[in-house]
């Protein structure tokens, strides 16, 4: 039975990198049915809605979704889509590649970001002309679910070191947010202890100092929603930018894959966007749908091209999106 | 009339770096009366309270306070002390010094961090066995007060570029925290516009990617409380660690100065701690109390010693705290 993969280009370079990733997927012996759907700024202009109910439903019912990028409407698209696939964890690997300029070439980390609560709860109030509040939410259930995933991730050797003994680091701000991050921290550490997985902890501000100083001391990092957003983007800066970073929003029987980068309006439409982050997101999609070997083939092809193939402008080359994609397909 | 400066060593290397900074202050032609007060882990052990009411009152009534570091009780000490001096802004310069190893030697930025609200409001609730919440607070009044300070700071040429035309950058997450950070962003940009100060903006996650990639594009950065905490600590990682970073918690007629680093338990008691961050905090204290010229003398002496004087172990040298302090006093 073929798997249904919803494909949403979105805006800007999303329209260039998504077709590139689909081309890579189509070159593999996997039986996916691709269903196109719309979202983003252009969709809002045309229909009044950044994320039409039809797109939400398609993503919710699919086996997986591959999303490009959205412009001004990014939050209106991506947050409901994460909800559509019931994703409880955002998986964000950040590694430097040989030959690619990086502030910290030894960076090789994976963030496991809580994907449903924290300041993303959506509860905000304008209480007076002077005062607004936001209700930051942390539950034991979501914290434990994330921690269970982190333990499996580590046990399966999916961390950068490949070694389950490396365990994970939980980054939080429980010295200030004692009740909410205190709960998060406690539950995550308790699950690790129950499962015999090694876990240490770091205050998120101290982590932000230490990661640039010595990224080699970290592997898998587990964090609340906004901490994961900011700290993984920091790691992106250390590996040389957003052009190479994939991500997965994982639920129990559905998932959403997206490059970490945005719409890059400065180069959109020119056919010169780097498709790597989206192609690596497609590799994560393959692995999620049980095609681990094909996922590995895509990764290897990408690494080959990064080391001695054509490069787009962001990596100092002058190749087009199509040329890079063709080179990757060639190596599959 | 002499000014009263409360001095709180706290724990760990606080007991070494505070005396060093006081020695520097005493070597200058300024008329300060130093009043010692206690806070921190050891104080809690001895008295049951990390921050005795007496210390709080002394800091509240003084002209300024110089604080070292506290261990486990850091939050219990520093947050009430910031409140005692009614500080509405935390000023955190982060610059790399010639000759000091830095991930990004071109870093030269100053964070102006909102110092009273955001997730630091202290309102948290355990609503059930599963659920905890925190009320994140943003007011127009605190946002505008911070923005007014930022405008003055820039107008006075106190930014790294020294050029008022450089303006400032406001970093926020208003695409997700639309009501709270939306209010913050709007008020800060409105004040800048009213005063004719140039202001641009950046999402805090994008900022965390871009700062390591190219710190030279930023100067003064204005942010909400937790964003300022994390992003300034990130900058600390780029300039080579916490050993050189001073900070000021500024109120209208009182202020609190502290190094950004902690108690460094691994080296505490050995007399080898780097006193630079605290001595630079003392320079900020001098400037705050109207002794701009003396503040500048301290800075120049510190820079001289950093470039060709003795160094502590964290900077690759083997000098003691006393030797570095004596070298700085020598150059005043
Ligand atoms: C667009 C925005 C809502 C989103 C987030 O904050 O999660 C983005 O920054 C990301 O990390 O995918
Ligand atoms: C100790 C802690 C409460 C404090 C903060 O979060 O403000 C510290 O990290 C700082 O930045 O001074």
Give B239-305 as a DSSP string. HT-GGG-EEEEE-SS-EEEEESS---TTTTTSS----HHHHHHHHHHHHHTT-HHHHHHHHHHHHHH
pLDDT above 80: residue B90: yes
Residue with tokens 């606080």: B14
Does the Cβ of A176 fall within 6 Å of ligand 2? yes
Domain shared by A230 and A251, yes or no: no
Does the Cβ of A78 fall within 6 Å of ligand 1? yes
A26 flagged as catalytic:
no
Domain shared by B232 and B247, yes or no: no
Domain shared by A163 and A272, yes or no: no
Does the Cβ of B175 fall within 6 Å of ligand 1? yes
Domain shared by A231 and A267, yes or no: no
From B75, B206, B237, residue closest to A209, measured CB to CB: B237
The one-character DSSP state at A173 is -
Last residue of a domain, one of A211, A239, A267: A239
pLDDT at B161: 87
Q: Out of A156, A205, A214, A318, which one is annotated catalytic?
A: A205
If 0-12 CB within 10 Å is exposed, 13-18 middle and 19+ buried, where does residue A251 land?
A: buried
Rounded CA-CA distance B291/B29 in Å is 10
Task: For ligand 1, atom 6, name the residue with the nearest CA.
Answer: A229
Close Cβ partners of A26 (under 8 Å, ≥ 6 residues apart): none
Domain shared by B256 and B279, yes or no: yes
Structure tokens at A51: 């994320």
Q: Answer whether residue A8 is part of any domain.
A: yes
From B74, B179, B212, residue closest to A103, measured CB to CB: B212
Contact A283, A300 (CB under 8 A): no
E-only strand ranges, B89-191 = 89-95, 108-114, 124-126, 131-139, 168-172
Nearest alpha carbon to residue B222 among B166, B287, B179, B177: B166
Task: From the CA of B173, give the closest atom in ligand 1.
Answer: 6
**pLDDT band with cut points at 50, 70 and 90 for residue A229:** very high
Domain shared by B233 and B290, yes or no: no
From A119, A131, A206, residue closest to B176, measured CB to CB: A119
pLDDT at A243: 86
pLDDT at B98: 84
Does the Cβ of B229 fall within 6 Å of ligand 2? yes
From B136, B173, B233, residue closest to A206, measured CB to CB: B233
**Which ligand is closest to the CA of B229, given by its number?**
2
Report strand pairing: B64-69 vs B255-259.
parallel
Report the chain A residue with the minimal C-alpha distance to residue B260.
A206
Report the chain A residue with the minimal C-alpha distance to residue B230.
A205
CA distances from B230 to A111, A136, A252, B227 (A): 17, 18, 32, 5
**pLDDT band with cut points at 50, 70 and 90 for residue A242:** confident
Last residue of a domain, one of A190, A215, A239: A239
Domain shared by B114 and B215, yes or no: yes
- Test A135 with B137 for CB contact under 8 angstroms: no
- Test B130 with A136 for CB contact under 8 angstroms: no
Question: Which residues on A lie below 8 Å from B259 (Cβ)?
Answer: none
Domain shared by A120 and A223, yes or no: yes
Q: Averaged over A253-258, what is the pLDDT? A: 97
**pLDDT band with cut points at 50, 70 and 90 for residue B310:** very high
Rounded CA-CA distance B301/A10 in Å is 56
CA distances from B192 to B146, B202, B223, B226 (A): 11, 15, 14, 22
How many domains does chain B divide into? Answer: 2
Report strand pairing: B124-126 vs B131-139.
antiparallel
Min distance A26 CA to chain B CA atoms (Å): 32
Q: Is A77 helix (H, G, I), strand (E, B) or coil?
A: helix
Q: Answer whether residue B97 is part of any domain.
A: no
Q: Answer whether residue B275 is part of any domain.
A: yes
φ, ψ (nearest 5 deg) of residue B328: -70, -45
Does the Cβ of B230 fall within 6 Å of ligand 2? no
- Test A135 with B134 for CB contact under 8 angstroms: yes
- Test A237 with B213 for CB contact under 8 angstroms: yes
Report strand pairing: A124-126 vs A131-139.
antiparallel
A229 flagged as catalytic:
yes
Last residue of a domain, one of A239, A254, A269: A239
A120 flagged as catalytic:
yes
Domain shared by B220 and B248, yes or no: no
Instruction: State the average pLDDT for chain B.
Output: 96
Q: Answer whether residue A311 is part of any domain.
A: yes
Domain shared by B129 and B67, yes or no: no
Q: Averaged over A114-137, what is the pLDDT? A: 97
Does the Cβ of A205 fall within 6 Å of ligand 2? yes
pLDDT at A245: 95
Structure tokens at A29: 């012996």
Q: Answer whether residue A117 is part of any domain.
A: yes
Domain shared by B323 and B274, yes or no: yes
CATH code for the domain of A129: 3.40.718.10
Return the residue in A117, A203, A208, A238 with the most chain B beta carbons within 10 A, the one to mutate for interface testing.
Answer: A208
Question: Which residues on A lie below 8 Å from B175 (Cβ)?
Answer: 74-75
Rounded CA-CA distance A171/A187 in Å is 13
Instruction: List pLDDT tens digits, range A45-70.
Output: 999 999 999 999 999 999 999 999 99
Instruction: List pLDDT tens digits, range A1-58.
Output: 789 999 999 999 999 999 999 999 999 999 999 999 999 999 999 999 999 999 999 9
- For the beta sheet containing A255-259, the strands, ordered from the edge strand earlier in sequence to the opposite edge, are A32-37, A3-10, A64-69, A255-259, A246-250, A89-95, A108-114, A220-223, A168-172, A199-203
pLDDT above 80: residue B1: no
pLDDT above 90: residue A295: yes
Q: Answer whether residue A98 is part of any domain.
A: no
Domain shared by A192 and A263, yes or no: no
Question: Which residues on B lie below 8 Å from A231 (Cβ)?
Answer: 208, 230
Q: Answer whether residue A31 is part of any domain.
A: yes
The one-character DSSP state at B312 is -
Helix (H) or strand (E) holding A140, with range, is helix A140-155
How far the first Cα of chain B sits from its last, in Å, is 24
Instruction: State the average pLDDT for chain A.
Output: 96
Instruction: List pLDDT tens digits, range B124-133.
Output: 999 999 999 9
Residue-number span of the structural domain to which A42 is assigned: 1-89+243-331
Around Cβ B297, how many Cβ atoms within 10 Å?
19
Rounded CA-CA distance A35/A32 in Å is 9
């Amino acid at each position: 039975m073929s798997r249904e993969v919803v494909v949403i280009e979105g805006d800007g370079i999303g329209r260039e990198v998504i077709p590139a990733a689909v081309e890579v997927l189509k070159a593999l012996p996997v039986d996916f049915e691709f269903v196109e759907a719309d979202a983003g700024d252009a969709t809002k202009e045309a229909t009044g809605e950044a994320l039409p109910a039809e797109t939400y439903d398609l993503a919710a019912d699919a086996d997986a979704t591959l999303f490009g990028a959205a412009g001004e409407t990014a939050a209106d698209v991506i947050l409901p889509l994460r909800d559509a696939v019931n994703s409880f964890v955002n998986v964000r690997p950040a590694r430097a590649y040989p030959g690619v300029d990086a502030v910290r070439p030894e960076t090789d980390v994976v963030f496991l970001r809580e994907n449903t609560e924290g300041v993303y709860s959506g509860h905000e109030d304008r209480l007076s002309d002077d005062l607004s509040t936001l209700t930051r939410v942390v539950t034991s259930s979501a914290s434990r679910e994330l921690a269970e995933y982190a333990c499996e991730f580590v046990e399966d050797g999916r961390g950068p070191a490949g070694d389950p003994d490396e365990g994970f680091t939980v980054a939080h701000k429980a010295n200030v947010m004692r009740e909410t991050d205190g709960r998060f921290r406690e539950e995550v550490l308790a699950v690790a202890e129950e499962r015999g997985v090694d876990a240490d902890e770091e205050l998120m501000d101290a982590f932000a100092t230490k990661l640039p100083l010595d990224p080699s001391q970290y592997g898998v990092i587990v964090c609340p929603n906004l901490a994961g957003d900011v700290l993984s983007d920091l790691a992106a800066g250390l590996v040389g930018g957003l052009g190479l970073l994939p991500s997965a929003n994982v639920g129990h029987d559905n998932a959403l894959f997206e490059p970490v980068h945005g719409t890059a309006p400065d180069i959109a439409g020119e056919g010169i966007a780097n498709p790597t982050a989206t192609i690596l997101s497609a590799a994560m999609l393959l692995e999620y749908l049980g095609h681990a070997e094909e996922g590995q083939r895509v990764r290897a092809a990408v690494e080959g091209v990064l080391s001695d193939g054509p490069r787009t402008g962001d990596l100092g080359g002058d190749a087009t999106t199509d040329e890079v994609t063709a080179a990757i397909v060639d190596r599959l």
